[in-house]
Structure formats: structure tokens, C-alpha cells
Amino acid sequence: SALTITVNPMEKHEEPGRGEE
Amino acid sequence: LQEVPGPCDHEDLLDGVIFGAKYLGSTQLVSERNPPPSTRMAQAREAMDRVKAPDGETQPMTEVDLFVSTKRVKVLTADSQEAMMDHALQTISYIADIGSVLVLMARRRLARRPASQAHSHRLYKILCHVFHSEDAQLIAQAIGQAFTVAYSQFLRESGVDPNQVGAQQSQGAAGPGHLHNGDLDHFSNSENCREVCIEKRRGEGLGVALVESGWGSLLPTAVIANLLHGGPAERSGALSIGDRLTAINGTSLVGLSLAACQAAVREVKSQTLVTLSIIHCPPVTTAIIRRPHTREQLGFCVEDGIICSLLRGGIAERGGVRVGHRIIEINGHSVVATPHARIIELLTEAHTEVHIKMMPAATYRLLTGQEQPVYL
């Protein structure tokens, strides 16, 4: 079956180091 | 507020919508900051393979409610509504849907490569949650819609007009990329990969005609375009038109030019036993292009039914369209004997989900007798 990826456009704006702990 | 296409009402997404699903489990991967689509696809498959029980074995699963809003995605137990997971939307890197499986990728925090490695290149740990739902695609679309709504808000707050960014994104420059391509699934399924031993007389050719897989192909290598009637390759019964030839006697042909692949096949003429590594593929492949509006550029050029160029990162490339392929069908309509102008008309009008069946133009010419095959 086909695989679809949906990327969060916010990803490229996130500062390095941030993210859910 | 700008309308964003998707299955949910815009206002509802601000408050949050709930989808029922079965939670299968979670795993963790280490990833580059913004991996290319092919890596994301492999990551999604890896996560699914780690969590999903093999066929025939019992799959442990929990009934959950997936809460999706423009701020967060939460996983709640269906009975007690207790939050099992809670991720801020901006920490969700991407989502994948594979049939009835949904994989949610949440960035955890930065990890550093071991000091032993030359560059202290930053890596992300990503938490991968795997769910099962008949509505996996719908849920993925809803989360995608939430991404877009939240992103539009973010841009507006930053003083950028989201409509202008949207125009760039639709040209495939960046942004919420939907990548839909069955090739990776097909190529990574070991059942499609075979080693074929062909016996032949010394000095006899294999009896195969080769063509290029075409620019845009996930696996650039030679494709079997024809088999010599009664030749060693046909006699083996193990090869068919459309198969990808990935190696010959253990030497990889992937990424080599057609001339180099042909030379490698000619080189084995003196041998009596030749081992070919192949990936069985149908001669006709289908690209599926997601095009919400006809105003969105398809991202490829056609001349007399043959795809002659492709916009890098455009919806056509992401859908699996390849240069050098002849279009056989558009949304179920055969276009093999259709004038160029009508093909353009069909493509211009096509939107939502555009199914394009195609095959390498050279294979088509051989099959229709317009060209004589050169057997190696």
C-alpha cells in the first residue's frame, strides 16, 4: 500500500534545541 | 481566517477534533534535523516494522482517542480519557499513513553524536507512535490541515502573507510536502527482490534489451525492456519486461549509465552461468499526483505523450512521475493514440488525485514494433 508523508512546515522554523522533553 | 483544504472544519481544528484509533506502540529513532523525504519514508517504515507484530501473531493494542488541534496532538485512553501522550504541534516533525497504519513522529530533544565522530553534528531523537485505524489517511490529512492552519497563523504573526508562501509551496519550493509514492514500498519488499541464475552457452548473449529507469526514479538502474524469444533470459522463465536489473554477478548496476549497464551485460557473454539481481516490477507503473486545485502547477512537461522534464520537488515528482516515460492512461482514459493537445487538455483539467499510468518510452516503442530491440 502507498505511503504518504506530511511534513510539518513549522519544522524548519524551530530553533535547534527545542523539542518535547 | 484563511481557508485551508482538509477534512475538518477550520474552527473545529482550533478547539480540537477527536478521532478513534488503536494505539499499537511507540519506538524511538535518531534523525538528522530536516531529513529528505526518502529518509522520512524509511523512518516511518522502520517505526511500523518495529512496533507491528508479524502477520499471524497477536498484536497488542489499546483503544485510544486522538485529539488533534492547531496547538497540540494528544493521545487519550478511550475509556478514562487519561492523556497517554501530549505533544505540542510544533514538535511534531511529520506524520505518515501507510494503508490503515498511522505513524506520528514527534521530536524529543537534541542528541549529540559521539565525540569519536569527526563533526559534532546535531541529531534529533524522534518518538514514533504507531496507530491502526481504517481512517488513517483521514487522520493524517486532519493533522496535515492543523499543520497548515498553525503555520499560516505563525506566518501572519511574523508579518508574512501566508498566501504568498502558499504560492511558492505549490510550486514545490518548500513547505508541507505530501509525498506519495508506492515505489519505496515495492523496492523495499524483499518478496519483489530475486536472485536469478541463468544458464547459457559460452559466447551466447543473455537475450535482454535494456532501457533506463528514467530521471525521477527512486531506483536509478537498467530496466528490462524486452526478452529475446528463445534466448537464455526468456528460457529461465524468471524475468519479465519491466524488471529492474540491480546487479550482475554481484556487481551493482544501480546509479550507472545505461551504456555502463549494457557493457556489464556484454561482459558476461563468455560465461556459462550468470547471476542477476532483479526487482520484479510491472511494465506499467502508476504515479498518483495529489493536486487539490487545477490552478496548482502539475510540475512536468509532456511532448507527444512523453514526459520530457520534471520540476524538482513538485507534486509530479513526489507522485512518482518520471522523465522519458510515455503516458499510457490518465485517470483511466487511454491516451496511447490521443493527440498531444487532448493529452494536455486532460492533464490541465485533472485535479484532486490524478492517476497516471506510464512506461519507459523506449519499452513502449519496442512493444509496439516501432523500434527493433538490440539484444545483449
pLDDT beyond 90 at B289: no
Distance to chain A for B56, nearest Cα, Å? 19
Mean predicted confidence (pLDDT) in B41-51: 93
Rounded Cα–Cα distance for residues B66 and B52 (Å): 19
ipTM score: 0.81
What's the CA gap between B61 and B280, in Å, rounded? 34
Nearest-Cα distance to chain B for A3, in Å, is 5
**Minimum-distance CB partner of B109 among A2, A4, A19:** A19
Q: Which of residues 261-290 of B touch A (CB under 8 A)?
A: 288
Residue B376 burial (CB < 10 Å; 0-12/13-18/19+)?
buried
Alpha-carbon distances, residue B304 vs B70, B151, B292, B350 (angstroms): 45, 40, 26, 18
Taking the CA atoms of residue B330, residue B334, residue B338 and residue B344 in that order, the dihedral angle to the nearest 10 degrees is -10
CB-based contact A2 B288, cutoff 8 Å? yes
The DSSP secondary structure of B206-242, one letter per residue, reads: --EEEEE--TT-SS-SEEEEEE-TTSHHHHHS---TT
CB contact under 8 A, A3 and B174: no
What does the pLDDT read at residue B177? 45
Burial class (CB in 10 A: 0-12, 13-18, 19+), B193: middle
Cβ contacts of B179 on chain A, cutoff 8 Å: 3-5
CB contacts of A4 in chain B (<8 Å) are 96-98, 137, 140, 178-180
Judge whether residue B207 has pLDDT over 90. Answer: yes
pLDDT at B183 over 90: no
* Per-residue model confidence as pLDDT tens digits over B84-109: 999 999 899 999 999 899 999 998 86
Instruction: Kindly report which listed range (B103-112, B234-243, B358-367) carries the lowest average pLDDT score.
Output: B103-112
Residue B209 has pLDDT above 50, yes or no: yes
Q: What is the pLDDT of residue A14?
A: 61
Q: What is the pLDDT of residue B198?
A: 92
Please check the confidence at residue B173 and state whether its pLDDT lies above 50. Answer: no
Could you tell me which residues are beta bridge partners of residue B72? B88
Q: Does A15 touch chain B (CB under 8 A)?
A: no
What is the four-CA torsion angle of B241, B246, B251, B252, rounded to 10 degrees? 140
The greatest distance separating any two alpha carbons of chain A, rounded to the nearest whole angstrom, comes to 35
Give the mutation candidate from A3, A15, A18, A21 for the B interface (greatest B CB count, under 10 A).
A3
Lowest mean pLDDT among B28-32, B189-193, B232-236, B268-272: B189-193
Question: Residue B41 corresponds to which cell in the numbers above?
Answer: 519514508
pLDDT confidence tier of residue B169, bands split at 50, 70 and 90: very low
Arithmetic mean of pLDDT, B206-218: 83
CB contact under 8 A, B154 and A13: yes
**Neighbouring residues of B90: CB distance < 8 A, sequence distance ≥ 6:** A8, A10, A14, B150
DSSP-based three-state secondary structure for B320: coil
